[in-house]
Amino acid sequence: MTTDQPPAFEGISAIELQSAVDSKIIAVSLYSTRAEITRLYRFVVQTGLNQVSIEGLPSVLETESLRVEGRGAATIHDVTVSRDTTEGGDGECAGAVRHLDGVPAELPGLAHVLENTESIGARLDAKKAELTEELQFIDAEIAAERSSLQGPPQGTKLRSKAVIGVFAQAAGNVEIALIYGVYDASWRAFYDIRADMNAKENPVTLIYRADVTQNTGELETATPTSGMGFPKLSPWNLQIYRETYGRLESHSRGRGVPRSLRARPKISRESYDPEEEEEGLPMGFMPYGVASVTSKGYVNATFRVPGVVTIPCDGEAHKFTITELNPKAVMSWVAVPKLDAKTHLSARLTNASEYTLLEGSASVYVDGSFISRTSVPSVSPQESFNCSFGLDPSIRITYHPLSKKLSTSGVFSKSANYVFAQRITVHNTKGVGAQGVKIVDQIPASQDEKIEVRLVSPALRLPVDSGASANASSGKTAKEKEPQVLNVAKGVVAQWDGSDEPGCEVEALGQVNWICAVPAQGKVNLALEWEVTVSPPNAQVVGL
């Protein structure tokens, strides 16, 4: 028989913590549809088992994502997560049923009742006043209970609870970090794209930004241009018309008759309206703190925002700067002076960074003035995308009046010869040269065998089927049209517009473009000349 006694059983120590009061957020990793939060708790444990109850965790907490890490002389035993689904109410207010003293159960007689009416009424009035005072006291208790049930602000969003078992070898301080994911937090990429037209190198800056939105309940402790498309030339067709049965009819496959036989067809601008303008934002911009890139790759990148930021729990988007890039930029200008003398500026931007740009919207600025809004696609490292910068008033186009000469040739079969000459002047008023200025114009296309149109200058020939004869012997039937590029002056080349695009019928469009290198403060003169021969000479031609 032994006299040894078992060690005394040590009870469980209960530790109750309020998340918002007894902890702080030390890290937040924000993803496109969720966030991961790290909260740090410091408290004192007793020797043995400690049951740590943490209330006030967000209702949108992902239960499966919760994990616990700790520091100190203790061991984490178990973790459970629950959510309080009870609704605050008025509670049950039990009132004592009191007997109304002075009201007799039996009445000896009518005379006795009449004698005591006044005294009974007085006692009832006194009891009514007593009950009214008691009711006011109960109402005050109900209001206090309701206030306690409501809890702190955002209580409806902080209804989750975690219970953690911690076994300590000795009493002392410990730290526990709760790491968990939450919904109702997200971010999206957006950009500021800024162009400095006076910069000789790296004229474009791309500022990578983030719109952060959260509603978890706990993270809170120049001239805008409308119509960015380039103006497009409509087909310019020449036709012979004759009057038949009292009305004009087309001699070319029944096409409609324009209102004026001598007027050029109206040319649509296809949603381009340069008159729609708003006031710009000429003010300068304050610098932003730039995030550091802690990991880079083709699939994702991790950015660390400098300093400590608070995201209000309001569901609104809050903007932060991630980083600033200098993409490789090839600037180009396009003008269609027959429609509008304004010059459109665009750039081919190459992502020279080591990580992917996410799809998002972008605000475009030129020389500090807001121009327009556009979109940036998903762009991998070293991949390129196009960006429009609106109108550039520093490239000025002069579309001189059209020159026209008429002569008649032939002895037996006479014909009328029209020679047209169009001059275009491109003036670069910048302090730096402009490479890749594209000017587009057109000549008419014949829709009738009695009308012949010939381009005189630049002396471009129509595309030929360069592969036709070569492929004949090998049995190939596919015909490939070879684009033609003609040097017309120093720094100026001409070609059929669209000849470098697959499937484009340039002879039907009749459009010509010049690609010009215009020096700083310099001018380039372009000449377009064509000849139209009509037989018989007295035939009426529409569109000429």
Range of the domain at 167: 13-85+159-182
**Residue 78 pLDDT more than 60?**
yes
Torsion sign over Cα 423, 429, 430, 431: positive
Query: Position 177: which residue type?
Result: A
What strands lie across the sheet with 204-214, from one edge to the other? 318-325, 204-214, 185-195, 360-366, 369-376
Please indicate, yes or no, whether residues 169 and 191 belong to a single structural domain of this protein: no
* pTM to 2 decimal places: 0.56
Please indicate, yes or no, whether residues 373 and 500 belong to a single structural domain of this protein: no
Please indicate, yes or no, whether residues 380 and 442 belong to a single structural domain of this protein: no
The answer to whether residue 153 sits within a structural domain is: no
Query: Position 50: which residue type?
Result: N
Q: Which residues pair with 366 in a beta bridge?
A: 195, 369
Determine the pLDDT at residue 88.
Answer: 44
State how beta strands 67-71 and 369-376 pair.
unpaired
The answer to whether residue 239 sits within a structural domain is: no
Please indicate, yes or no, whether residues 492 and 450 belong to a single structural domain of this protein: yes
The answer to whether residue 513 sits within a structural domain is: yes
Q: Are 347 and 385 a contacting pair, CB within 8 Å?
A: no
Please indicate, yes or no, whether residues 374 and 471 belong to a single structural domain of this protein: no
Determine the pLDDT at residue 398.
Answer: 96
Q: Are 542 and 258 a contacting pair, CB within 8 Å?
A: yes
Q: What percent of the chain is modeled with pLDDT above 90? A: 24
Work out the burial of residue 52: count CB atoms within 10 Å of its CB; fewer than 13 is exposed, 13-18 middle, 19 or more buried: buried
Q: How many whole angstroms from its chain centre is CA 46?
A: 54
* CA-angle at 90, arms to 85 and 95, nearest 5°: 135
Work out the burial of residue 455: count CB atoms within 10 Å of its CB; fewer than 13 is exposed, 13-18 middle, 19 or more buried: middle
The answer to whether residue 403 sits within a structural domain is: yes
Please indicate, yes or no, whether residues 382 and 507 belong to a single structural domain of this protein: no
Determine the pLDDT at residue 395.
Answer: 94
Please indicate, yes or no, whether residues 472 and 524 belong to a single structural domain of this protein: yes
**Residue 12 pLDDT more than 80?**
yes
Residue 484: CA atoms inside 13 Å, Cβ hemisphere, count?
A: 15
Buried b (16+ CB within 10 A) or exposed e, 54-74: bbbbbbbbeeeebebeeebeb
Q: Which residue has the tokens 């991961």?
A: 36
**Residue 26 pLDDT more than 60?**
yes
Segment 431-442 shows an average pLDDT of: 92
Please indicate, yes or no, whether residues 169 and 215 belong to a single structural domain of this protein: no
Q: Rounded to an integer, what distance in angstroms lies between the CA atom of residue 328 and that of residue 382? A: 9
pLDDT tens, position by position, 492-514: 999 998 777 766 666 667 899 99
State how beta strands 328-336 and 434-442 pair.
parallel
In total, how many domains does the chain have?
Answer: 3
Please indicate, yes or no, whether residues 28 and 61 belong to a single structural domain of this protein: yes
The answer to whether residue 254 sits within a structural domain is: no
Determine the pLDDT at residue 349.
Answer: 93
pLDDT tens, position by position, 251-287: 333 333 333 333 333 333 333 343 433 343 333 433 4
**Residue 298 pLDDT more than 60?**
no
Q: Are 152 and 20 a contacting pair, CB within 8 Å?
A: yes
Lowest model confidence (mean pLDDT) among 287-296, 318-327, 357-366, 403-412: 287-296
The answer to whether residue 259 sits within a structural domain is: no
The answer to whether residue 236 sits within a structural domain is: no
Show the tokens assigned to 53: 């109850």
